[in-house]
Structure 1
């Protein structure tokens, strides 16, 4: 087992129409407005940006994200990631009842030296940190969509 490899999945039920959710998720430069753990997004060009995230634990992760798949009809947004995390992340947006369910999948290998050194003892904390970040993201997006 590679202790620096992670697979995450989160489901976000949201009380908003799927097209509105999709539009909010494709505007990565707006994430810091509604997702406080996304500290900064710097666009490089139309399909690439650098994102800096920090949740509860005292470290930042900087990752370059490159658009891989953008398919509004299928509700899919996918990026390739490099930097402190190497791998990919995908949003899948689908209608559910009068709202939407968003599925987030991510497979990454952590490259940040400190996190690699702490991989075995820190793994449960790193996974909990990710869960907290995702919970805050769901709440932030729900509030953002409600305000728009």
Structure 2
């Protein structure tokens, strides 16, 4: 087993139409406005940017994201990741009742040296840290979408 390899899946039920959720998720430059653990997003060009995240544990992760596949009709949005995390991440947004479901899948290898050294003892903490970050992201996106609906 490669202790530095992670697969994550998160499901975010959201009380907003799927197209609205998709549009919010494709605007990565806005993530820091609604996702507390996204500390900074720096656009490099039209198809890439650098994302800095920090959750409960005291370390930052910097990752360059490059657009992968985008399919608004199917609700698919994915990126290729390089830097402290190397791999890919994908959002799949579908209608669900009067709202939507945003499914997040991620497969990465940790490249940050400190985290690689702590791979075995730190793995449960790293996974818990990711869960906390995703939970806060779902709440932040739900609030952001509700605020946008009120403004219209």
Report if TM-score (shorter chain) is over 0.5: yes
TM-score with structure 2 setting the length: 0.97
Give unmatched runs, 5+ long, in structure 1: none
Per-residue deviation, residues 12-39 of structure 1 (Å, max 9, x unmatched):
0000000000000000000000001000
Secondary structure of the equivalent of 1:57? coil
TM-score with structure 1 setting the length: 1.00
Residue of structure 2 equivalent to 1:28: 28
- 1:57 & 1:44 partners in 2: Cα distance? 27
Residue of structure 2 equivalent to 1:67: 67
What does 1:6-45 correspond to in 2, within 5 Å? 6-45=6-45
- 2:76 & 2:39 partners in 1: Cα distance? 24
- 1:133 & 1:98 partners in 2: Cα distance? 26
Residue of structure 2 equivalent to 1:130: 130
The count of corresponding residues between Structure 1 and Structure 2 is 148
Give unmatched runs, 5+ long, in structure 2: none
- 2:45 & 2:4 partners in 1: Cα distance? 30
Residue of structure 2 equivalent to 1:95: 95
- 1:34 & 1:141 partners in 2: Cα distance? 6
User: What RMSD, in angstroms, separates the aligned Cα atoms of the two structures?
Assistant: 0.3
Moved over 4 A (4+): none
